[in-house]
Amino acid sequence: MRWRTALGAIVAGVALSAWAAPVELHLFWSATCPDCHIMKAFLEELAQEYPGLVIVEHEVTFNPDNWRLMVTLARAYGLKEETVPTVIVGDLAVTGIGRAVELRIREEVERCLAQGCPSPMERLPAKKAWVLSPVEIALLLGLAVLILFFVIR
């Protein structure tokens, strides 16, 4: 009789998790960042483990708007460091990689799946942060060097 009760609880749990609202996780990453690829691999495994998890990826190196979105959300979540990889889900915003970071992400995903969490985009202020992305800064510096080269020459 106990095995039937346990089996019923498992089936009910799976059915309820199938009806739960999806959990939205935002990953800010760079194509040139080795740590980002490690985080992406972890998140792919996590998404297979939790079908209710929706991962929204934002590549920031070649898309300045994604960089500004990352900075704006990071500030809204109180992050002091704006770097990649950055993961934002539920009430958690975290940067970097490692077991401790992975554990915090997993715990927040599980909490959000059980209790529900709004999209991180709901914390987005009306006005995005106006910052230059690293690519924009590099282009401006390159342009300044070219101008100086031709002026001094």
Could you read off the pLDDT of 61-108 as tens digits, one per residue?
999 999 999 999 999 999 988 899 999 999 999 999 999 999 999 999
The answer regarding whether domain 2-152 maps to CATH 3.40.30.10 reads yes
Tell me the domain boundaries of the chain.
2-152
- Tell whether the model's pLDDT for residue 22 goes beyond 90: yes
pLDDT, mean over the chain: 86
The fraction of the chain above a pLDDT of 90, given in percent, is: 65
Output the pLDDT for position 67. Answer: 94
Tell if the pTM clears 0.85, that is, is over it. Answer: no
Within the chain, residue ranges assigned H as helices are 2-19, 34-49, 64-76, 99-115, 134-152
